[in-house]
Amino acid sequence: MTSSRNELAISIERQQGLKYFPTFHDNKELPIHSWFSYTEGFSGKFVKEAISNALLSHGLILDPFCGSSTTGVESLFQGHNFHGYDINPVMTMVSEAKTICAFAIAKAFHSGKTNKQNLISIAKEISSTKISKKKSEDEIFSDKEYFSSENLEAIRAMRSAIDQVENEDIRTIMLVGLLSILVKVSYLKRSPDLKYRAEKDFARPSARTEFFNATSQFIEDVFAVPFQKYGQSKIYTGSAKKLQFTKDNSVDLIVTSPPYLNGTNYIRNTKLELWIGGFMKKDSDLKNFRCSEISSGINSAQKTTYASTLWPKINKTIEEIKGSQYDSRISPMVANYFHDMHSVFIQLNRVMKPKSKCYLVIGDSAFNGVHIPTDKHLILIGEHIGLHVIDTVTMRKRKSRGGMPLTEELLIFQKG
């Protein structure tokens, strides 16, 4: 630990409304950031502060859990290149729309190759189309009532119309616009898992209206992007345990937030988007996606046995969980989480340049009254493979579902 507080730590502590600083909350008011509501995302203001503090010159920034690419958007705005990975193809599509397509369309606008009215006309035509071509995925969830018949018919028609858009960048942005309104116009709501709304909330807004409103805002955001030199973005649907498209010793900065051990099903929470986006051919495909992600939710833990980790303190936590668990999958989930994060840290260490930094936001957890100090356990793993903690910051205070006090921590690692 450094003797003087890191500048980013000091600036964070000066922020007003600290409880919102590490979360997606403020992104809802920020252009491009707001395109896809992502509960697990973090603050654009935080990422901007982290990048400004850590990188004074042009560099490559990585987010191995890129989600909706808050890190990516801020990286490009500040002139840096960006690599983003996510196991969820919905999130990599959202990331591509925000960090590649949006900037390509903005460039076309500044060079006189497109205009706002052209894009508005495309969105309007899509929102009013009545033609729907039968797709194989139409049969998925056919026994579930997730939408009103009117909204489902409209969604399928708009999805077919989007497929006919010739320009790939515009087509991707329009599809993300459709995906972004699915939960809002459905009978479901996001929580640790998607669940039905209360029956009094079953009067849902029009999918056609919501799509046009969303894409109109997207277009306004794109045409407000100033003319300047931006970085380049590359987005990969892949695992943070591999990072196979990023070279050794090439990354200047990592700003990320891994999955928390909190039971949230990160894949099933986007099953509507996976379905309508065309990433599923059958409903069992959800299980295939879950098997590839970091072990952090109870539904991704299929086994009831586990292997011990390399760290006695982590093993002690796992044994305490095993002694009080209400579901035999919880202790394997916790053990596999730290095994998975060990693999992730090995990859982070591989791709980082010597002396480069990793800003990692993580929260601790509790199961059945047993506290899991995730931040402290990740520090053990990082130190073991050569990523040394130079500072920690408590970003905000939280509570478990059982009322146990928890926190969200920023861990600042440095390689070497």
How far is the C-alpha of 380 from the C-alpha of 105, rounded, in Å? Answer: 45
Residue 194 token pair: 């998607």
> pLDDT by residue (tens digit) across 25-57?
666 677 898 899 876 667 888 888 889 888 878
**Using DSSP, how many helices (H) and how many strands (E) does the chain show?**
15, 11
- At 20 the pLDDT is 46
Q: Is 112 helix (H, G, I), strand (E, B) or coil?
A: coil
- At 136 the pLDDT is 67
Q: What is the DSSP string of 157-225?
A: HHHHHHHT--SHHHHHHHHHHHHHTHHHHSSEE-SSS-EEPPGGG--PPPHHHHHHHHHHHHHHHHHTS
- Counting every residue written for the chain, the total comes to 416
pTM greater than the 0.95 cutoff: no
Which domains are delineated in the chain? 7-415 (3.40.50.150)
In the predicted structure, residue 154 carries a pLDDT above the cut 80: yes
How far is the C-alpha of 59 from the C-alpha of 61, rounded, in Å? Answer: 6
> pLDDT by residue (tens digit) across 295-352?
887 766 666 789 999 999 999 999 999 999 988 989 999 999 999 999 999 999 999 9
CB-facing half-sphere around the CA of 43: CA atoms within 13 A:
20
Answer whether 253's CB lies under 8 Å from 356's CB: yes
Mean pLDDT computed over 157-177? 97
- The per-residue b/e assignment along 295-325, b for 16 or more CB within 10 angstroms, e otherwise, is bbbbbbbeeeebeebeeeebeebbebbbeeb
> pLDDT by residue (tens digit) across 227-282?
888 899 999 999 999 999 999 999 999 999 999 987 677 788 899 999 999 999 88
Q: Is 318 helix (H, G, I), strand (E, B) or coil?
A: helix
Chain centre distance of CA 131: 33
Mean pLDDT computed over 135-150? 85
How far is the C-alpha of 151 from the C-alpha of 208, rounded, in Å? Answer: 8
- At 167 the pLDDT is 97
- Amino acid letter, residue 400: S
Closest CA to 327 of 309, 308, 307, 303: 303
Q: Give start and end residues of each alpha helix (H) in 186-329.
A: 207-223, 271-276, 285-292, 312-324
Biggest CA pair distance of the chain: 66
- Range with the lowest mean pLDDT among 130-134, 142-146, 182-186, 412-416? 130-134
C-alpha distances out from residue 24 to 35, 47, 65, 307, Å:
12, 11, 15, 35
In the predicted structure, residue 190 carries a pLDDT above the cut 60: yes
In the predicted structure, residue 3 carries a pLDDT above the cut 60: no
How far is the C-alpha of 122 from the C-alpha of 43, rounded, in Å? Answer: 31
Closest CA to 186 of 219, 227, 229, 154: 154
